[in-house]
Structure 1
Amino acid sequence: MSAKINILFLCTGNSCRSQMAEGWAKHLKSDVLNAYSAGIETHGLNPNAVAVMKEAGVDISSHSSKLLSELDTINFDVVITVCGHAHETCPYFPGKAKVVHVGFPDPPAQAKELAAQGAPEEEQLNCYRKVRDQIKAYIVTLPESLGM
């Protein structure tokens, strides 16, 4: 049996998308992946992300928003940027880290836009649910879709 793949999900604030990805990877692929998440900045854990993941049976409530520098002792095999800003500002990773961009829509921004239009909270939460399910569909493909 080969060693597990160290995978980092990187986002701007490590509050929503990267946290969901880490949660799904730990829930679905812990036999082949060591999953982590971090941000270029820290924005705190998004409570709506926690809520919709809990609906799907994945508890990320104990996660915390981390800076990339907090994980500098880990040699990553793969770094997946899950938002455009993180992809554009992704630092250089020494060694063999393969950097891949798989962008997902920004649920907080979408929900904020809907709230400004007077949409009910349930409709706003649907933004999170949709992205949660898109991320899950991607995580299911790992690590094979990375060519590993």
Structure 2
Amino acid sequence: MTSKARVLFVCTANAARSQLAQALLRHTDSEHFEAFSAGTTPTQVDPRTFEALSHIGVSTEGLRSKSIDEFRGEHFDYVITLCDKAAAECLSLPGAGEALAWSFEDPVTSTKPDAFRHTLHEIHERIKMFVLVKNKH
């Protein structure tokens, strides 16, 4: 494979889940994948997102909340939604190769202790599996 597969992670606010996924994919396999994230109604990156990533030594460089509109007209090999609301809103994203819907609880609104670390771990496990499966061509 000569060029990297482009992956866009989408959630509603682009504050936590899609940011975590972008940073984790970049950290896990930047040799084969180029990771991006966006929100259907972006806000700001939650500070706990940065804390959770920094805690496990993952770079948070360049992470900012952006609208999916920034990526209109671009091609992505994979568009991965991380919540049901984004999945419903992203079905018609032009330029998307394979669309995948992963659903994770939003740590921003969660009442669970260590919600960010828990979500980070769940997303990391899924990303490791994704990388393993998609690198087998």
Runs of 4+ off more than 6 Å: none
The answer to whether the Cα contact below 8 Å between 2:20 and 2:53 also exists between their aligned partners in 1 is: yes
Structure-2 change in CA distance of 1:131 and 1:96 (3 Å)? closer
Structure-2 change in CA distance of 1:96 and 1:54 (3 Å)? closer
In 2, the alpha carbon distance for the partners of 1:96 and 1:58 equals 27
- Residues 1-148 of structure 1 mapped to structure 2, 5 A cutoff: 1-60=1-60, 62-95=62-95, 97-111=97-111, 123=113, 126-145=114-133
Let me know the Cα RMSD of the aligned residues: 1.8
TM-score (norm 1): 0.84
Report the CA distance between 1:73 and its aligned residue. 4.4
Per the alignment, residue 119 of structure 1 pairs with none
State the AA in 1 paired with 2:116.
Y
Structure 2 residue runs of 5 or longer lacking an equivalent are none
The answer to whether the Cα contact below 8 Å between 2:11 and 2:39 also exists between their aligned partners in 1 is: yes
State the AA in 2 paired with 1:42.
P
Query: Percent identity among equivalent residues?
Result: 29
Count of paired positions: 136
Report the CA distance between 1:29 and its aligned residue. 1.0
In 2, the alpha carbon distance for the partners of 1:77 and 1:19 equals 18
State the AA in 2 paired with 1:60.
T
Which stretch shows the higher mean deviation, 15-24 or 93-102?
A: 93-102
1 or 2, which has the higher strand percentage? 2
In 1, the alpha carbon distance for the partners of 2:4 and 2:62 equals 23
Rg: which structure is higher?
A: 1
Structure-2 change in CA distance of 1:9 and 1:88 (3 Å)? same
Which stretch shows the higher mean deviation, 89-98 or 134-143?
A: 89-98
Structure 1 residue runs of 5 or longer lacking an equivalent are 115-122
The answer to whether the Cα contact below 8 Å between 1:50 and 1:61 also exists between their aligned partners in 2 is: no
State the AA in 2 paired with 1:69.
D
Report the CA distance between 1:98 and its aligned residue. 1.0
